[in-house]
Amino acid sequence: MWVAPQKRDARVIAHYTGILVVGVGLAMIVPLITAVSLGEWDAALDYLFGMGIACAAGMALALVSPPDQPLDRTNALIVTALAWFAASVTAAVPLAVSGNYASYLDALFDAMSGLTTSGLTLVQDLDHMAYSHNMWRHFLHLIGGQGIVVAAVSIAIGLRGGAVSLYIAEGRDEKILPNVMHTSRFIWFVTAVYVTLGTAALAGVNLFSGMEPTRAGLHAFWATVACYDTGGFGPQSMNALYYHSWAFEFVTVLLMIAGTLNFNLHADIWRGDRWEIFRNIEARAWAANVAILSAFAALGLGSTLLFSDTMSVLRKGVYHVLSANTGTGHQTLYTAQWVGDYGGLAMGAVILAMAFGGMASSTAGGIKSLRLGLIVKGVVLRVRESLAPSSAVVRAKFHHLTDRELTPTLLDSALLVFVLYMVTYISGALVGAAYGYPIGEALFESISATANVGLSTGVTSPAMPAGLKILYILQMWAGRLEFVALLTLFASLVISVRRKRSQRS
């Protein structure tokens, strides 16, 4: 049944969205401090301006709409969908006035890309961007990757009624720990440990490479956040290629894998159940996925002119399969090399790695290996059913944190999301082709945006048509929310409009 949203629903939604917008404004304190510390006074003004707008707009929304009912599941879905857009609109303000973006739309594109941990960018003159603006771009990965909603749960909302609904709507619907507050704190704790270790390791690598200390530390922190939160932004236009360091690539790959690991698996391993990672269907499906696609990428690169030696196979082949599959999007190639030098087979492996994606309950995007594992199990189940005697009851079990049975509902959910992703991937590619881009590159970019990866063949640039920029913004938004929250938002808007029309007539 379609239930039309009431005015009191709108008040609840506006109130919580307002709180989240204020949260984004307060987060601008981080680039503001960076700007003041480093004497970037123009940038500091950009962030004061951004904070003012965010706090004023957010508080107006939150105070004008005091909620008179708790946040239910439907409203939580709508708040989640709106939160990403409202946060992006807010986060884009200081970027838009920075002078590094051709328009507000380009800044909005980067803000959405940052918050959804995609990594596609429309920034101009990145190599000379202020440190504080780079801090904000990468900090967006951190707050987006760990979840604006989880952050709100941890900081702003506390233990009030809506917290659990918001957390479920985020797409992390498995309880890691019994209490939602403990769960979000555990996520932040694991993140803090990995970010600290990653920053220290990469700072060492950068210092050894000859960078001056402040720059080495900042680049290390940004690369760590971009990899652990599977984002993909970089402070240099050449991205990871800029560092020309196998040690840098090794540390970042470890961070990417840690970032794509299901938080439930982190929790199990950190609490002593070390063998869960070997039994878990999702971890197994992910490992098999990466192994097969790495083999195909290596097979393809083996026959190319530039990348057939062993180090190139590892640093250009395996690195990009992992970067694509974890949804990170760091690249060690010039964008033109994807089409010119990489070869069709290896590029196909990277495209599939992007499309399939990492693990659920992590910062990775894409279809997710848990769903792929369930779909494969479902196919095997159907084959076994067709071979078994008609009186036999055939069942399939799998292990994901506990032993479970593969039910038709689970399989339907996995297939539904699989189909939604495939339709979005292909639709985006067709639109890109309609704008005149080669279909292969359009498909690459469409999958990269929807699966929140960030690898690019060069289609994504400030010069691309505004329609395509808007499409990729929508794809990044939809992919991050795995469609359901966004569809709920659009459905409620349509129902509201229809109800108003019917009331008038």
Under the rule (CB under 8 A), what is the footprint of another protein?
A: 193, 250, 253-254, 257-258, 261, 266, 269-272, 274, 277, 287, 290-291, 294-303, 308, 310, 313-314, 317-318, 322
What is the C-alpha separation between 295 and 16, in angstroms, rounded?
A: 47
Q: Report, in Å, the least distance between residue 240 CB and another protein.
A: 16
Residue-wise over 256-277: b if at least 16 C-beta within 10 A, else e?
bbbbbbbbbbbbbeeeeeeebb
Q: Report, in Å, the least distance between residue 117 CB and another protein.
A: 19
What is the C-alpha separation between 79 and 94, in angstroms, rounded?
A: 24
Q: Report, in Å, the least distance between residue 261 CB and another protein.
A: 7
- The 10 Å Cβ neighbour count of residue 231 is 33
Q: Report, in Å, the least distance between residue 294 CB and another protein.
A: 5
The alpha carbon dihedral of 179, 184, 187, 189 has a sign of negative
Q: Report, in Å, the least distance between residue 186 CB and another protein.
A: 10
Helix (H, G, I), strand (E, B) or coil at 147: coil
Structure tokens at 45: 């003004």
Between 266 and 480, name the residue whose CB sits nearer to another protein.
266
DSSP 352: H
The answer to whether residues 363 and 327 touch, using CB atoms and an 8 Å cutoff, is yes
What is the C-alpha separation between 393 and 385, in angstroms, rounded?
A: 8
Helix (H, G, I), strand (E, B) or coil at 400: strand
Q: Report, in Å, the least distance between residue 246 CB and another protein.
A: 12
Q: Report, in Å, the least distance between residue 399 CB and another protein.
A: 17
What is the C-alpha separation between 180 and 183, in angstroms, rounded?
A: 5
Q: Report, in Å, the least distance between residue 170 CB and another protein.
A: 23
Q: Report, in Å, the least distance between residue 19 CB and another protein.
A: 31
Q: Which of 340, 175, 343 is nearest to 267 (CA)?
A: 175
Between 278 and 490, name the residue whose CB sits nearer to another protein.
278
Q: Hey, what amino acid is at 33?
A: I
Residue identified by tokens 């339709």 is 423
Residue-wise over 30-42: b if at least 16 C-beta within 10 A, else e?
bbbebbeebebee
Phi, psi of 210 (to 5 degrees): 105, 10
DSSP 156: I
Q: Report, in Å, the least distance between residue 344 CB and another protein.
A: 12
Phi, psi of 140 (to 5 degrees): -65, -40
Q: Which of 504, 495, 450, 453 is nearest to 477 (CA)?
A: 450
Q: Report, in Å, the least distance between residue 271 CB and another protein.
A: 6
Phi, psi of 405 (to 5 degrees): -100, 140
Between 109 and 228, name the residue whose CB sits nearer to another protein.
228
Between 215 and 284, name the residue whose CB sits nearer to another protein.
284
End-to-end CA separation in angstroms for the chain: 23
- Measured in whole angstroms, how far is the alpha carbon of residue 180 from the centre of its chain? 21
Q: Report, in Å, the least distance between residue 233 CB and another protein.
A: 23
Q: For residue 483, what is the enclosing H or E element?
A: none
Between 316 and 480, name the residue whose CB sits nearer to another protein.
316
Between 299 and 417, name the residue whose CB sits nearer to another protein.
299
- Rg value, the chain, Cα: 23
Q: Report, in Å, the least distance between residue 114 CB and another protein.
A: 26
Phi, psi of 13 (to 5 degrees): -65, -45
What is the C-alpha separation between 206 and 240, in angstroms, rounded?
A: 12
